[in-house]
Structure 1
């Protein structure tokens, strides 16, 4: 299990990388396809080509629609990476949903202002103290409700970055209108953080991955094949027995 500092750091890293996902969204990227073997990597290339063809069809249809309606104004749609888009949508949904669940459990309800009362002139010192106390309670309730450390389950601001940073604060035990996370809640947030960061790093090709293929995909010599790469490097498969090497181009070397 990750400690709270690791979980908080992972969530902060997601927030830092989110602008990079937005940048990658406009340029369809080739995915590494790790965990599927070299064939799986090659399959992701085919999937990328299919997605690019879909982008082209989508944009052509939009352009034809504009040609039929020359009076329409506005920016023309541009292709986006469906792979990056799906990752962003999945990660954001997971983070926001987790923030909603944790907030409902650990966030203290906002202080309620006093009930409405008819305004009246304070004629005595006791009456002035009552009205001053009432004004103080109203201001206290207003400030508590507007506390920027609160997570709101409705309304604006429910973004991946905001959710990641809010959950990071809960994981690290930052002060606020909350109780500390229970051990089960810490585990849940840690699991979400690991999975979300893994998806983000994978789609941005930042993860350095090394994985052995199963026995059914062993080398003809009987040796175990290891696929490694990532973090900008192209995937390579190598037999740990005879030393044969395969790249995504299918070139083998001994």
Structure 2
């Protein structure tokens, strides 16, 4: 059975996780992958984190910052949120321009007149119905309104509806549009899960951090699992507490 989430599901997950990103924004204890707790070959990453922390402290004390007591934030989370939100909003704008039907046009203005016959009353009643239908169509909450509610959550949910083929004043997505939206959704969700440490993650370290045997070190963990490093050459394994096997 295929358990791969659909594009619509991925976009819904982004919307659901967005409040968690907002909460994590004020937590500067997070570290870039691979985790800094691993010893030995990750000392260089520890030093890099220290340099970043010093830069953050200097930024917080800078008189150029707005307000007298700036709130420290996680730049990693902040950059992720900005990138994902920009991608979602741009994609929503582009798809809306392509698939969203223009609002119905109301009837042309007419001079007020008294309906003295049944036929005239029917004409004016029909005109009133068309004006109201045009108003409702223009204000349809299913429409993407670029000037209102430009948030990552709204964009993700609106795009989810387009991916799922939900009804509304739209035509179905073309194959090219479906593929583009799928790439955007997958990439955005991967960024969100990575910064929240929700996804299984693997990364090979550079040659600078090679094992004593010369083999490449691979770090893996995430999704709540403790990070572990393994040499792909000799098979040595390290955890936060030190060497597990050599």
Task: Please confirm whether the aligned pair reaches a TM-score higher than 0.5, indicating the same fold.
Answer: yes
Report the alpha carbon displacement of residue 170 of structure 1 after superposing the two structures with TM: 0.5
The yes-or-no answer on 1:12 pairing with 2:5 is no
Q: Distance in 1 between matches of 2:155 and 2:41?
A: 33
Q: Distance in 2 between matches of 1:209 and 1:162?
A: 28
Q: Distance in 2 between matches of 1:145 and 1:237?
A: 57
Q: Distance in 2 between matches of 1:215 and 1:44?
A: 14
The yes-or-no answer on 1:230 pairing with 2:222 is yes
Once the two structures are overlaid, the 10-residue window that deviates more, 212-221 or 229-238, is 212-221
SS in structure 2 of the partner of residue 27 of structure 1: coil
Q: CA RMSD in A?
A: 3.2
Report the TM-score, using the length of structure 2 for normalisation: 0.85
Aligned with 1:184 (options 176, 182, 189): 176
Partners of 2:199 and 2:223 within 8 A in 1: yes
The yes-or-no answer on 1:128 pairing with 2:121 is yes
The yes-or-no answer on 1:93 pairing with 2:86 is yes
Report the TM-score, using the length of structure 1 for normalisation: 0.82
Alignment of 1:28-107 (within 5 A): 28-34=28-34, 45-62=46-63, 76-107=69-100
Residues 156 and 111 of structure 1, relative CA distance in 2, 3 Å threshold:
same
- What residue is the counterpart of 2:140 in the other structure? 147
Alignment of 1:204-243 (within 5 A): 204-212=196-204, 219-221=211-213, 223-243=215-235
Partners of 2:236 and 2:243 within 8 A in 1: no
Residues 63 and 166 of structure 1, relative CA distance in 2, 3 Å threshold:
closer
Q: Distance in 1 between matches of 2:12 and 2:45?
A: 29
Q: Distance in 1 between matches of 2:65 and 2:185?
A: 43
Report the alpha carbon displacement of residue 239 of structure 1 after superposing the two structures with TM: 1.9
Report the alpha carbon displacement of residue 236 of structure 1 after superposing the two structures with TM: 2.2
Residues 79 and 217 of structure 1, relative CA distance in 2, 3 Å threshold:
closer
Residues 157 and 203 of structure 1, relative CA distance in 2, 3 Å threshold:
same
Structure 1 alignment gaps of length 5 or more: 68-75
Partners of 1:207 and 1:231 within 8 A in 2: yes
SS in structure 1 of the partner of residue 201 of structure 2: strand
Structure 2 alignment gaps of length 5 or more: none
Residues 249 and 53 of structure 1, relative CA distance in 2, 3 Å threshold:
farther
CA shift digits 1:48-74 (9 cap, x unpaired):
43343333333334599977xxxxxxx
SS in structure 1 of the partner of residue 28 of structure 2: coil
Partners of 2:41 and 2:209 within 8 A in 1: no
Q: Distance in 1 between matches of 2:112 and 2:148?
A: 34
- What residue is the counterpart of 2:166 in the other structure? 174
How many residues matched? 242
